[in-house]
A and B are shown apart, each in its own frame.
Chain A
Amino acid sequence: MKYQVIHVTEYKYEVPATLCHNLMFQIPKDHPFQQVKDYSCEIVPKPSFEVNRTDFFGNNYLYFSVERLHRKLTVASKSVLELSEPAWISVDPKSTLPWEKVAKWLHSTDASSEIRQYYLESDHVPFISGIRDYAVKSFTENRPIMEAMLDLNTRIFRDFAFTPGFTDISTPLQKVFEHKKGVCQDFAHFSLACLRILGLAGRYVSGYIETLPPPGKPKLVGSDASHAWIAVYIPGHDWVEFDATNNLLVNDKHIRVAVGRDFADVTPLKGIVYSGSEQEMKVSVDVQSMEEEMTAEE
């Protein structure tokens, strides 16, 4: 599948801001089943200083500062990507290693720190009480890890209600667990907590997914959103991705942007602004499938 993604963030200030410093995690990179064909970013007003860097987790990010009076800041990222079917789609879940074996291997120095770092607690993925009991219902004794994970994925999908507005960035995971409500970010964090309490490595993936309009209705521009799901390390198959929000083993419709321990590591745009006034923020994401165009060209 080929996609074009346009991600626009806009800040408005009543009293002009004098200075802002920002970190932007919106630059996708190549993955085994994802190729970045094109990426560009437009920032208005033009940053006084900017630099591209790679973070500790291997993500590309942009640091920039705007050092002049501004009432409005717009950051627009545009990417074109090509996705292919991941190899894990054709893996028989029963053929994967029992999860206890994976956990044991992870805790030895045979596994690299790059992988091991993802079985530790993190700020948004705390080991809340009751989480182990929830997890072991899927991760039963000697169950192959992929099979167990698919089961967990489905249970979260069934047990939790997708409820926009119930949570925000600061909602503790405990509350999500108690009320069984939230959005993709909460489900991702919850899945990760289940994995990590068992000593398994799971990482947070931020990205995009195309939303389809109700049948017969035209698709609205900007109606898509950024999305989040997780990846589990399965020896022999590398990082395998699961989307609890949609009860899916990720295929060729998920566009990956960045990975980290949790949301805080890969916040799409964060910043500090020198301004006394209130701010207004607007985000729009547009994911366009480019299959049609290609067929037309052919």
Chain B
Amino acid sequence: MIESYLIEKMFNNAPFLDEMATDQGKIQPHWERLARYYEQIGKERLGQFHDEVGRQLRENGVTYNVYGDPNGMNRPWILDPVPMVFNSEEWEAIEKGLVQRTNLLNLILSDLYGSQTLIKEGLIPFELVYNHKGFLRQAHNVKLDGDQQLIQYSSDLARGPDGKMWVLHDRTDAPSGSGYTFENRAAMTRVFPDLIRENHVRKITSYYQTFKNTLSNLTKNNKENPRVVLLSPGPTNETFFEHAYISSFMGFTLAFGEDLTVSDGYVWLKTIKGLEKVDVIIRRVDDVFCDPLEFRNDSHLGVVGLMEAVRQRKVLVINPLGSRVLENPGLMAFLPKLSKHLLGEDLAIPSVATWWCGQPSEMTYVFERMESLVIRNIYRGTNHKSVFGGDLSKAELENLKREIRRSPFLYVGQEMVEFSTTPSWINGKLEARNAVFRSYVVADSENKDYTVMPGGLSRSSSEQGAFLVSNQTGGISKDTWVLGKLKEPGASPIKPVRIQPLVHNVLPSRTGERLFWLGRYLERSAYTVRLMRMTLLSYNEADEDIHIQENPVLNTLLQTLTTMTCTFPGFTEKDILKNPEPELLALVHDIKKSGSLAFSVQSFLANAYAVRDRLSLDTWRILDSISEELTRMRKSVTTLTQAYHSLDNMVVKLMAFYGLNLDNMTREPTWHLLNIGRFIESAVNNCTILRGMLSKHFDPESNKELMEDTLRCNESLVTYRYRYRSNLEMNGVLSLLMLHEDNPRSLIFQLLEIDHHLKALPVNNEAELFSIERKKLLEAITKIRLCDIDKLSAADTESHEFTALTSFLDEIIELLQDTSDVVYEKYFSHTGSSYRMMQTSVIPEI
């Protein structure tokens, strides 16, 4: 396997260097162990390991969202079992170079938002900064304490044909990927434990320890235990997985813009207990989306008034707003000079050769060589895609030149680095793919220095010879191994972490709301499955030639199904009753049909995804299998028989989710809200089924059959037989499903559970001894306890319908609805905080 890779490398005249193979077809010394290992285990095992790595990641729920792709939500993260490898000597040079570059960028950042001496002295062109949308005038003279303004820094590096590493991009606003790096390493460690040990692969955990200490130092004067939130754009963001991952890993509270509010100049987190002060915001929301008052007023991802809170020094935002000005390829052209000027040193790691068109001679040069250059805007944004000059037609080139002439400051020409290849496991064999390495640097405020993560996120292109290496376009990620032990034995011991994890006693209202719905959709899905199963059985048993309207049992089941799933007109329509199969199938697998099983399960999964930082790892395995079952159900269920099997599988998995949480979720608000949602939904569905199935009077045989189905729906038939040892009687059935406090399927049991969980929630208002929602519930509980079961079991003498039962259940449903509304208002009302721009003054009319 290795041999053929080397031969391929030797005879293939590709201009790229290879990380593993030398031009003479030899193996680089630091790859030898790995190469030997691959040779030893062979293709088949390596293939198995590849699958194993994928399984690990999938089960951990590692995903990556792709914008604009209908199936892009939660696309699995792809990891190559072959890592990127650096030996210790080379790493030392990279590390040094990155620390130097971060220091340099930090000095530039401080200057641009302070005295601007560099512009005055002509070392940085004025237009390069003032034309860059990342230069936020609102952040002028706003500084963090100390000299370090840039707290997190990332850059993409690649090896050029000369064997040197080059910086391709600087990322200074809200660098992403470090969470994936940790997951990659975790998966690799599980699959290749020996290989990692034998190669002395350096650990990467120190990165986050340093980060935590730095945060703690920055807020030291204010607080011993700062409240840190990670501000995420939300579950549809491409890297949401890692926002949730980093939050739970670091003990930060995961928050969206709507979870935070500014009041009295402070930033507050809206929790189910009320407002909690926030000290630090680690932001994953882009700069101009962070505050609609001062930046983009169309943003709903930010916090209104945040910039002023920063000026008030009441909250730290990391990286500071304005840091994006450094994500500026034009700056690369000036870094060598700046390094000399500011540090008195040569720039250790060169940037990819860059010509800024703001200078006439550089523009001419770019125009002359346009076909071999990449043309970029100095500001990276969705409207500003970089283009390779060689891909453009003559007319397009002319257009581009016209654009550049119009605003030359906005463009750079960059050399196309032909970066090196690494072996990658592609379709069952090792192939050479171009790779880029993303590094992570973090401020170490204790030592007034910067620390580089010994590792990082490498990505390789999915196709041969392609340089577009991005997760958005289907790139493959790689773990990055830095070999060799720590250089100095006396390296600074890891300091105890001062930040206490606060996740567990803070629950943002929005998260609470999601948990509530998670519980509701869980039960809604389960009840839909159960009633659907009864209906399908009855449908299969029915004579083929009979009209459904003449089959009271089947008809009642179908009507109840429509009512419970709220899918009117559904089976109340005569035409649909004539041919019920399409509607039945749609109720199972049509994900677009609100109320269908697929819809409810999808909503269940979406809510789970939004609170993923609150759920355990094992839970993710189950959610993964529910998601798979849902896909199977949607794609391959075409007959009612298939539907029936799918229902069986689904309900077992849903219950496994609940069982696991029962087993390992701590009994705090998270748990209580999940259960309040769950039992409110159960109780409502219970009432709906009783009302739908037992309120009509038919022939005794049909009524008996309906009672039996009702018990089966609630999995209580066995209990009934065991307890009553008699024929089915209405009062017995109602007693069991309404009054027996020891039957978990009874209405009273469900209501008592709601009350139990409500009682356990934190009290907002101490004076309120017995809350309104509990009063409503108490009313329902009392009604049930006091009800006369014989009266409810009797049919009306005139209409022969069970009207007493119907109106009784209606009352209970209404009380449940009231309870739900009050809970909503009390704990989640913060979440409905929609805001809008105030009209600005009519324009001056003179």
Residue in contact with A109 in the complex, picked from B121, B262, B841, B844, CB distance below 8 Å: B121
Contacts of A113 in B (CB 8 A): 116, 119-120, 126, 130
Q: In the complex, A227→B834 CA distance in Å?
A: 33
Q: In the complex, A228→B844 CA distance in Å?
A: 7
B68 within 8 A of A: no
Pair A183/B846 contact, Cβ less than 8 Å: yes
Q: In the complex, A116→B130 CA distance in Å?
A: 9
> Who on chain B is nearest to A276 by CB?
B834
> Who on chain B is nearest to A271 by CB?
B838
Within 8 A of B (CB), among A171-196: 183-185
Within 8 A of A (CB), among B809-846: 833-846
Query: How close is B356's CB to chain A, nearest CB, in angstroms?
Result: 15
Q: In the complex, A71→B315 CA distance in Å?
A: 30
Contacts of A245 in B (CB 8 A): 846
Residue in contact with B131 in the complex, picked from A120, A164, A227, CB distance below 8 Å: A120
For chain A, the bracket of interface size reads 35 or more
Pair B845/A56 contact, Cβ less than 8 Å: no
Within 8 A of B (CB), among A247-282: 263, 267-276, 279, 281
Contacts of B6 in A (CB 8 A): none
Pair A65/B262 contact, Cβ less than 8 Å: yes
B472 within 8 A of A: no
Pair A270/B838 contact, Cβ less than 8 Å: yes
Q: A56-B138, A113-B130, A116-B130 are in contact. Are A273 and B836 (CB under 8 A)?
A: yes
Pair A167/B843 contact, Cβ less than 8 Å: yes
Q: In the complex, A232→B839 CA distance in Å?
A: 30
Contacts of B835 in A (CB 8 A): 19, 272-275
Q: In the complex, A283→B843 CA distance in Å?
A: 10
Pair B297/A9 contact, Cβ less than 8 Å: no
A53 within 8 A of B: yes
Counting residue pairs across A and B whose Cβ atoms lie within 8 Å, the total is 131
Within 8 A of A (CB), among B291-318: 292-294, 297, 304-305, 308, 311-312
Pair B305/A53 contact, Cβ less than 8 Å: no
Residue in contact with A65 in the complex, picked from B122, B137, B305, B840, CB distance below 8 Å: B305
A43 within 8 A of B: no
Give a binary string over A4-47; 1 marks a CB under 8 Å from any B CB, 0 the rest.
00000101000000111111000000000000000000000000
Pair A184/B844 contact, Cβ less than 8 Å: yes
Contacts of B137 in A (CB 8 A): 55-57
> Who on chain B is nearest to A186 by CB?
B843
Query: How close is B833's CB to chain A, nearest CB, in angstroms?
Result: 6
Pair B841/A9 contact, Cβ less than 8 Å: yes
Pair B130/A22 contact, Cβ less than 8 Å: no
Q: A65-B263, A272-B835 are in contact. Are A209 and B130 (CB under 8 A)?
A: no
Pair B311/A22 contact, Cβ less than 8 Å: no
Residue in contact with B846 in the complex, picked from A48, A227, A279, CB distance below 8 Å: A227
Contacts of A164 in B (CB 8 A): 845
Within 8 A of A (CB), among B246-292: 261-265, 292
> Who on chain B is nearest to A109 by CB?
B122
Pair A225/B845 contact, Cβ less than 8 Å: yes
Contacts of A121 in B (CB 8 A): 131, 407
Contacts of B337 in A (CB 8 A): none
Contacts of A11 in B (CB 8 A): 838-839
> Who on chain B is nearest to A112 by CB?
B120
Contacts of B293 in A (CB 8 A): 21-23, 270-272
B796 within 8 A of A: no
Pair A185/B839 contact, Cβ less than 8 Å: no
B140 within 8 A of A: yes
Pair A51/B312 contact, Cβ less than 8 Å: yes
Pair A275/B836 contact, Cβ less than 8 Å: yes
A67 within 8 A of B: yes
A160 within 8 A of B: no
Pair A56/B140 contact, Cβ less than 8 Å: yes
> Who on chain B is nearest to A114 by CB?
B116
Pair B126/A209 contact, Cβ less than 8 Å: no
Contacts of A281 in B (CB 8 A): 838-839, 841-842
Contacts of B304 in A (CB 8 A): 21, 272
Contacts of B127 in A (CB 8 A): 120
A153 within 8 A of B: no
Contacts of B725 in A (CB 8 A): none
Within 8 A of A (CB), among B128-165: 130-131, 137-138, 140
A117 within 8 A of B: yes
Contacts of B138 in A (CB 8 A): 55-56
A105 within 8 A of B: no
Within 8 A of A (CB), among B76-133: 116, 119-122, 126-127, 130-131
Contacts of B592 in A (CB 8 A): none
Residue in contact with B841 in the complex, picked from A53, A246, A269, CB distance below 8 Å: A269
Q: In the complex, A283→B841 CA distance in Å?
A: 7
Pair B840/A269 contact, Cβ less than 8 Å: yes
Residue in contact with B838 in the complex, picked from A20, A112, A183, A184, CB distance below 8 Å: A20
Within 8 A of A (CB), among B400-454: 406-407
Pair A273/B844 contact, Cβ less than 8 Å: no
Q: A56-B137, A117-B130 are in contact. Are A227 and B844 (CB under 8 A)?
A: yes
Contacts of A209 in B (CB 8 A): 846
Query: How close is A245's CB to chain B, nearest CB, in angstroms?
Result: 6
Pair A19/B261 contact, Cβ less than 8 Å: yes
Q: In the complex, A284→B311 CA distance in Å?
A: 32
Pair B834/A274 contact, Cβ less than 8 Å: yes
Pair B121/A273 contact, Cβ less than 8 Å: no
Query: How close is A286's CB to chain B, nearest CB, in angstroms?
Result: 14
Contacts of B126 in A (CB 8 A): 109, 113, 116-117
Contacts of B122 in A (CB 8 A): 109
A206 within 8 A of B: yes
Residue in contact with A21 in the complex, picked from B130, B305, B833, B842, CB distance below 8 Å: B305
Pair B840/A274 contact, Cβ less than 8 Å: no
Q: In the complex, A281→B839 CA distance in Å?
A: 7
Contacts of A272 in B (CB 8 A): 292-293, 297, 304, 835-838
Q: In the complex, A21→B292 CA distance in Å?
A: 10
Query: How close is B50's CB to chain A, nearest CB, in angstroms?
Result: 50
Pair B312/A273 contact, Cβ less than 8 Å: no
Query: How close is A189's CB to chain B, nearest CB, in angstroms?
Result: 11
Give a binary string over B481-515; 1 marks a CB under 8 Å from any A CB, 0 the rest.
00000000000000000000000000000000000
Give a binary string over A210-237; 1 marks a CB under 8 Å from any B CB, 0 the rest.
0100000000000001111000000000
Contacts of B292 in A (CB 8 A): 272
Query: How close is A277's CB to chain B, nearest CB, in angstroms?
Result: 10
Contacts of A269 in B (CB 8 A): 838, 840-841
Instruction: Give the 10 A-B residue pairs with the shortest CB-CB distance, closest first.
Output: A56-B137, A271-B838, A21-B305, A226-B844, A109-B122, A281-B839, A274-B835, A227-B846, A272-B304, A185-B843
State the B residues within 8 Å of A (CB): 116, 119-122, 126-127, 130-131, 137-138, 140, 261-265, 292-294, 297, 304-305, 308, 311-312, 406-407, 833-846
Interface contacts beyond A65-B262, A109-B119: sample of 5 additional A-B pairs, CB < 8 Å, sorted by A: A168-B843, A184-B844, A184-B846, A226-B844, A273-B836
Q: List 15 A-B contacts (CB under 8 A).
A: A18-B833, A21-B262, A48-B263, A49-B263, A65-B305, A67-B263, A113-B130, A127-B406, A226-B844, A245-B846, A267-B840, A270-B837, A272-B304, A273-B838, A281-B839
